[in-house]
């Protein structure tokens, strides 16, 4: 009898708790659904506070979430990553692929009233090209030889040599146009008073709290329906999601993978999923032991079960990867499949390497998800006799150590670029600016340089296919997975245009 009571009482309590929670949940759902009475204000939850609102000095993706409202690019992209007119209505490339003629949109003004014209474009590009500006985008347009203004709304850009990715970089920060008047007036303070040609103009900012922008009534494009957009940073993923569920936020730019199923089944939330452009994996220092040994790197590469990592750590919210070109890219190789872990072959390679008692330290960021990934990798490589020592490092310190080559292996990825050159050249050429692996292969240098100078997409893809196979063989970087972009928003928000560049385009959004 006592045992029965002991059993039934907790069950009864559990049932009552479930009923109460369900009731509370239903009440919250109803309140959430009715909470949006002010349809003129959109609140966006960001994963961090954007550090730089001057796009020509920016390096972080979160900056671009706000930039998307303030600025327009010369060229835009649609949901299929095809080029479409932006501030440039049309463009023509010469037969030698060294001269680009742009025709600009007329009747456009910056938010301070300054006219947008060919002089403004020339000013912006020359500002980036000026070494004193210190723009991280300089290398993207360093091939520019001269800029010639034809008339107020036409100009020609001459390149030193053919550069196939040129149009693609004009869809990113490099193509965002800043008011020359405001830049000259504000100088280094421009980021605190940014002025562009976008659908919204900057109003105010409270660091680590909010950024407010308001509709620019003289915007050249279709007038946005929402008058005010407020960006709020929530560095903690759980806090970000909780604010979305409670109705304090209308849409968030990122979410933790553990929350995917939770939001999928929330009747008040719409979850939009899109293959993105980035990749994640393990950067190996090919200049230090034991990772300077090719066969050790190859053994590591084939011993990893990428599908298991995707399922266990990332709740199937990522796509297993073996090269730098994600499924959203036209350069993605269709003949290079994700293999199963090959333990027997990996052990054979270690034996052939002549290296014994193999171990290395893997640096990861200080978060539970990265730790779980590290532990899975430890388990997988332990099967082939390789010991991984995990070292958790603060993100900024990790980047510094990576750039100074003070590491053996580091879990590090890339947000990705529209053109495949942006996912490969700076990473894997011998003198690439992001090649902190010390990797050098003259054939890869040749293939990626040639891919930059060829405009035919089919020919370029063939070059990238060859590159992918060599990178798989050489294994300087262990590709683990491609990113997917998850955008969670309230059900009453409509007009979201999901593009693989992961940006929230505010000009098309409205409330039902």
- Structure tokens of 350? 């270690």
DSSP conformation letters of 415-450: ---SSGGGGTHHHHSTT-TT-TT----HHHHHHHHH
**Distance (Å, rounded) from C-alpha 242 to C-alpha 249?**
9
Q: How far is CA 497 from the centre of its chain?
A: 16
Q: How far is CA 496 from the centre of its chain?
A: 18
Question: Which are the contacts of 246, defined by CB distance < 8 A and separation ≥ 6?
Answer: 28, 32
- Structure tokens of 233? 């940073």
Q: 41-50+198-268+491-511 maps to which CATH number?
A: 3.40.190.10
Pair 198, 68: CB distance under 8 Å: yes
Number of H helices, E strands in the chain: 15, 19
Question: Which are the contacts of 230, defined by CB distance < 8 A and separation ≥ 6?
Answer: 41, 42, 43, 44, 210, 211, 212, 213
Question: Which are the contacts of 73, defined by CB distance < 8 A and separation ≥ 6?
Answer: 86, 87, 170, 171, 172, 175, 176, 177
Pair 433, 59: CB distance under 8 Å: no
**Distance (Å, rounded) from C-alpha 9 to C-alpha 15?**
10
CATH superfamily membership of 275-485: Dipeptide-binding Protein; Domain 3 (3.10.105.10)
Largest CA distance in the chain: 95
Each residue's pLDDT tens digit, 15-66: 333 333 333 443 343 334 455 678 999 999 999 999 999 999 998 889 999 9
- Structure tokens of 413? 């990825």
User: Where do the structural domains in the chain lie, given as residue ranges?
Assistant: 1-33, 41-50+198-268+491-511, 72-188, 275-485
The per-residue pLDDT for 98 is 97
CATH superfamily membership of 72-188: Dipeptide-binding Protein; Domain 1 (3.90.76.10)
Backbone φ/ψ region at 94: left (φ over 0), alpha (ψ -120 to 50), beta: beta
The whole-number mean pLDDT for each consecutive block of 10 residues of the chain, a chain of 512 residues, reads 33 36 38 65 95 91 95 95 96 96 98 98 97 91 96 98 95 97 96 98 96 98 97 93 96 93 94 94 97 98 97 94 95 93 98 95 90 97 97 88 95 92 94 93 97 94 98 98 96 95 96 96
CB count within 10 Å of CB 117 equals 21
**Distance (Å, rounded) from C-alpha 477 to C-alpha 322?**
10
**Distance (Å, rounded) from C-alpha 25 to C-alpha 132?**
56
Give the 3-state DSSP-derived string for 442-484, with helices as H, strands as E and coil as C. Answer: HHHHHHHHHHHHCCCHHHHHHHHHHHHHHHHHHCCEEEEEEEE
SS3 241: helix
- Cα–Cα nearest to 106, from 77, 131, 85, 80: 85
The per-residue pLDDT for 32 is 43
- The pairing of strands 319-320 and 359-365 is unpaired
The per-residue pLDDT for 235 is 87
- Structure tokens of 225? 């329906």
Structure-token match 């919250």, residue found: 28
Q: Which helix (H) or strand (E) holds 267?
A: none
SS3 content of the chain, % helix, strand, coil (to 5): 40, 25, 40
**Distance (Å, rounded) from C-alpha 114 to C-alpha 201?**
13
Question: Which are the contacts of 406, defined by CB distance < 8 A and separation ≥ 6?
Answer: none
The per-residue pLDDT for 399 is 85
The per-residue pLDDT for 35 is 56
* 41-50+198-268+491-511 and 72-188 agree in CATH topology: no
The per-residue pLDDT for 475 is 98
């Amino acid at each position: 009898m006592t045992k029965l009571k002991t059993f039934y009482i907790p069950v009864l309590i559990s049932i009552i708790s479930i009923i109460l929670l369900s009731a509370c949940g239903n009440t919250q759902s109803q309140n959430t659904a009715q909470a949006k009475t002010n349809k003129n204000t959109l609140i966006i939850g960001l994963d961090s506070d954007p550090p730089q609102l001057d796009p020509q000095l920016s390096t972080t993706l979160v900056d671009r979430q706000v930039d998307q409202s303030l600025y327009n690019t010369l060229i835009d992209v649609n949901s299929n990553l095809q080029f479409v007119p932006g501030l440039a209505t049309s463009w023509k490339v010469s037969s030698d692929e060294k001269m680009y003629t742009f025709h600009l949109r007329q009747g456009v003004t910056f938010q301070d009233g300054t006219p947008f014209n060919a002089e403004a474009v020339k000013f912006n590009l020359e500002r980036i090209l000026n070494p004193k500006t210190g723009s991280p985008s300089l290398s993207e347009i360093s091939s520019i030889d001269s800029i010639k203004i034809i008339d107020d709304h036409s100009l020609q850009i001459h390149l030193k040599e053919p550069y196939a990715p040129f149009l693609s970089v004009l869809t990113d920060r490099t193509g965002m146009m800043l008011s020359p008047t405001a830049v000259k007036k504000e100088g280094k303070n421009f980021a605190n008073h940014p002025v562009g040609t976008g659908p919204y103009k900057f109003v105010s900012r409270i660091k680590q709290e909010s950024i407010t922008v308001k509709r620019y009534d003289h915007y050249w494009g279709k007038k946005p329906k929402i008058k005010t957009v407020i960006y709020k940073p929530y560095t903690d993923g759980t806090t970000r999601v909780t604010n979305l569920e409670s109705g304090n936020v209308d849409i968030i730019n990122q979410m933790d993978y553990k929350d995917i199923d939770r939001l999928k089944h929330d009747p008040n939330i719409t979850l939009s999923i899109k293959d993105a452009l980035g990749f994640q994996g393990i950067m190996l220092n090919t200049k230090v032991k034991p990772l300077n040994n090719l066969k050790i790197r190859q053994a590591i590469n084939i011993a990893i079960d990428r599908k298991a990592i995707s399922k266990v750590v990332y709740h199937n919210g990522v796509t297993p990867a073996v090269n730098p070109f994600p499924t959203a890219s036209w350069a993605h190789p269709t003949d290079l499949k994700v293999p199963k872990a090959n333990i027997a072959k990996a052990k054979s390679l270690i034996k052939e390497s002549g290296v014994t008692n193999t171990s290395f330290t893997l640096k990861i960021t200080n978060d539970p998800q990265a730790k779980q990934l590290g532990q899975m990798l430890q388990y997988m490589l332990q099967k082939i006799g390789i010991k991984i020592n995990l070292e958790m490092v603060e993100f900024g310190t990790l980047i510094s150590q990576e750039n100074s080559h003070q590491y053996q292996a580091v879990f590090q990825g890339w947000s990705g670029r529209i053109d495949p050159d942006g996912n490969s050249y700076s990473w894997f050429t011998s003198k690439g600016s992001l090649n902190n692996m010390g990797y050098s292969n003259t054939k890869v240098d040749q293939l990626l340089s040639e891919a930059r100078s060829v405009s035919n997409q089919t020919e370029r893809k063939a070059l990238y296919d060859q590159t992918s196979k060599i990178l798989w063989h050489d294994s300087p970087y262990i590709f683990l997975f491609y990113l997917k972009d998850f955008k969670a928003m309230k059900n009453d928000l409509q007009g979201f245009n999901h593009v693989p560049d992961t940006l929230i385009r505010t000009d098309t959004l409205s409330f039902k």
